[in-house]
Amino acid sequence: ANFNLDLMYALPGQDVAAASVFVGAQTAAVEGCLRTPTQQSLLAGGSTVSGERFQVQLMNPYAGEASVDLIVQSESGLEAAPQLRGILVPSRSSVVIDLAELLPGRQSLSIAIEVASGNVMTVGRFDAGADGALWHSVAPASDWYVPVPGGGLEGELVVSTGVAAEMTFQ
């Protein structure tokens, strides 16, 4: 796949805009602007099996450097790769963490992004052959509502939590 990344910044005041464009050999995915970064966010739904590529992009459009820890859970449990801790994201730049290189062969990955200092906005980038996807992390919440189209569509809904706890959902 051919990865082309455009990172757009606009600092009109207290609101910050950051967007990402992911262009593969046969697909394109765009993730819209994020308004407010949080100290903890969740990113779920990636896989690194059979040549699938899952990347985490940490974007820092601010004047100061950011330090980030990625707490990654897979079907194997808590992942302990040292490259997931103390990630430095320089001012007005981004860092891409390739989980396919760090954690190959994982069926399902859920990530809690914990910002130790500074601010970042995070997107997940997934590539499986001709298919690609891009989605931003979300702040933990008690209630989320997900529109699910009816009839004839196949897919998978991933439910994730940033803490080691049982979840109920309906």
Q: Among 28, 48, 58, which Cα is nearest to 137's? A: 58
pLDDT of residue 112: 92
Q: Which two tokens stand for residue 157?
A: 């809904």
pLDDT of residue 131: 74
Specify the pTM: 0.74
| 3-class secondary-structure state, position 142 | coil
**Do residues 97 and 130 touch, judged by C-beta distance below 8 A?**
no
Helices (H), ranges, 36-139: 99-102
Spans of the chain, pLDDT less than 70: 1-36, 149, 152-153, 155-158, 160-165
d(CA 78, CA 126): 21
How far apart, in Å, are the Cα atoms of 56 and each of 23, 63, 98, 99, 110? 15, 21, 7, 7, 11
pLDDT of residue 34: 63
